[in-house]
Chain A
Amino acid sequence: MITEVTAEHYIILATTLFVIGVAGVLIRRNAIVVLMCVELMLNAVNLLMVAFSSHHKDSAGQLFVFFIMVVAAAEVAVGLAILVMVYRNTRSTDVSLLDQLKN
């Protein structure tokens, strides 16, 4: 067991979460789940930024996390709107169907 929580524990946790997010983006074909895994990766980075902001006693990291959350909210709104439009045209959310630019 750990006696004191240090930044290295947060690094390990954030790395694990980030890798799980990357694996999800690679493994899953449902575009909604892929977007959710991107959110997971963003959260892993946020966690690390807060940990280092606490470590350095500097509030810049926490404000960056706030701005990341703002951008993530806008990204999800637009991304899901695009997904709904894609679903209307293809009747599926399978990312492997989205290769129309090839032709």
Chain B
Amino acid sequence: MSPTIFLTLAIIAVVSAMFVVFAKNPVHSVLALIVTFFSIAGLYLLMNAQFLFVVQIIVYAGAIMVLFLFVLMLLNLSADTEPQKSNRFRVIASASAGLLSLVFSAGMVIDATMGDRNVANIQEIGLVKHLGKVLFTDYLVPFEISSILFLAGMVGAVLLGKRTPKESKS
């Protein structure tokens, strides 16, 4: 049962990720990326990481992708304003990506202990109860620091998004 679900979700994730890269219209890219994020969320559920499943849907598919869609709408981008790279550059870029995948697969081949790593899906570490306990004891300081990071990010976004007086005159 679970290998079938895994394969289905993996194929959906890879196909929609390809669509993100090759779609002409940026809006289609955003929608394909949302599909990818949902299938990755499904894979989290398959590994019984329930907390991350919920966070993935709320933060990635919800907040971040809505932000992307809003900016696309604000800038009014579509397929015909899409800048294109020359074919020569595309070939070089694809070749370097292929070389990178070659490096990764070489690393996988060298790793001889592969094959006996089972991913147990019935365990409690991914549950909200357990992760919350660890987050607020062992990882309390990083948690607080990340809240400061968020505050800084918020101030930075407002500051960058604001029109300067000189700009609004022209």
Interface residues of A (CB under 8 A from B): 1-13, 15-24, 26-30, 32-33, 35-37, 39-40, 43, 46-47, 50-51, 53-55, 57-59, 62-63, 65-67, 69-78, 80-85, 87-88, 92-94, 96
Contacts and interface: CB of A to CB of B under 8 A. Distances in A.
Contacts of B150: 70, 73-74
A19 B100 contact: yes
Contacts of B110: none
Contacts of B59: 69, 73
Interface string B53-69: 00110011001100110
B17 A21 contact: yes
Nearest to A7: B117
Main secondary structure of the interface of B (DSSP, over half): helix
Interface residues of B, number: 85
Nearest to A85: B160
Contacts of B125: 53-54, 57-59, 62
Contact of B161 (A11, A81, A92): A81
A33 B60 contact: no
Interface in B130-164: 130-131, 134-135, 139, 142, 146, 149-150, 152-154, 156-158, 160-161, 163
